[in-house]
Amino acid sequence: MASILPADPTLDEIRAALAPLIADNAAFDGFGEAALTAAAERIGVDLDVARLAFPGGARDQVDAWFADIDASMARRWPAEKLATLKIRERITTLVETRLDLLAPRRESLRRALALLALPTNLPFAAKLGWRSADVMWRLAGDTATDYNHYSKRAILGTVYASTLAVFLNDESENFAGTRAFLARRIDGVMRFEGWKHRRAARRAERPSLARFAGRLRYPGR
């Protein structure tokens, strides 16, 4: 295979080029030295240089592959294209796009999630999940900076993780079972968001003892 790298690539460029190729090999060898060696040979990268691009070993390889999925998703659905959809459709579309991108490498995904499930890797797994949820919400147009910023990403991260668990074992045509599961979960999220907005509105309308006391003290305000 001809090199897909520029003449004098940076380590970041090497990392990005190798990531999906490592994922190809991880289905057979798992993430690690064997998958890295096969990927480096495929595009003619010196193995010692390839190792430098992934100083954290297998964890960095999974990190780079998931970052590649994030980037591929964003290329398929840039923010301006998503803006034509309703918010529920945006999130559903983004998650389903990720599933489409992962489908050819489902066994590699199984290996990656098994690696991330190790107790020592759980904080790292949470970081990667948060990053993917953040990318999806930003593409969907979310600009929240208050607690909603965090709650939206935490909830979507949970939905995405549970959907992946179903996806790994789904043998239905075009992953219909996974898509139905995702639709139910997102429906639950949308109901929760609606409840939060209604609750916030009721709080805003509720008489405030503090405001009443303030008016007594400062009647001109």
Q: What are the residue ranges of helices labelled H in the chain?
A: 11-29, 33-43, 47-53, 58-76, 79-82, 87-102, 106-116, 122-139, 147-168, 176-205, 209-217
> What six digits make up the tokens of 213?
């006391």
Judge whether 70 lies within some domain.
no
Query: Which residues of the chain fall below pLDDT 50?
Result: 1-2, 221
Do 46 and 86 have their domain in common? no
How far apart, in whole angstroms, are the C-alpha atoms of residue 148 and residue 196? 10
How far apart, in whole angstroms, are the C-alpha atoms of residue 146 and residue 221? 27
Do 95 and 148 have their domain in common? yes
pLDDT for 156: 93
Instruction: Report the amino acid identity of residue 64.
Output: A
Do 144 and 195 have their domain in common? yes
pLDDT for 219: 56
Judge whether 211 lies within some domain.
no
pLDDT for 2: 43
Do 177 and 108 have their domain in common? yes
Q: Return all residues near 126 (Cβ < 8 A) that are at least 6 apart.
A: none
Which one-letter DSSP state was computed for residue 83? T
Do 5 and 114 have their domain in common? no
Do 131 and 180 have their domain in common? yes
Do 102 and 166 have their domain in common? yes
Judge whether 4 lies within some domain.
yes
pLDDT for 217: 52
pLDDT for 27: 95
Judge whether 143 lies within some domain.
yes
Instruction: Report how many domains make up the chain.
Output: 2
pLDDT for 8: 86
pLDDT for 147: 84
C-alpha distance from residue 189 to each of 18, 45, 82 (Å):
36, 45, 19
Do 109 and 190 have their domain in common? yes
Judge whether 67 lies within some domain.
no
* CATH code of the domain covering residue 120: 1.10.357.10
Do 37 and 130 have their domain in common? no
Question: Where in the sequence is the domain holding 1, given as residue range(s)?
Answer: 1-55
Instruction: Report the amino acid identity of residue 153.
Output: R
Do 49 and 84 have their domain in common? no
Judge whether 63 lies within some domain.
no
Judge whether 22 lies within some domain.
yes
Contact 93, 77 (CB under 8 A): yes
Do 90 and 171 have their domain in common? yes
pLDDT for 5: 83
Do 97 and 161 have their domain in common? yes
> What pLDDT digit, counting tens, does each position of 165-208 carry?
999 999 999 999 999 999 999 987 777 666 565 665 666 555 65
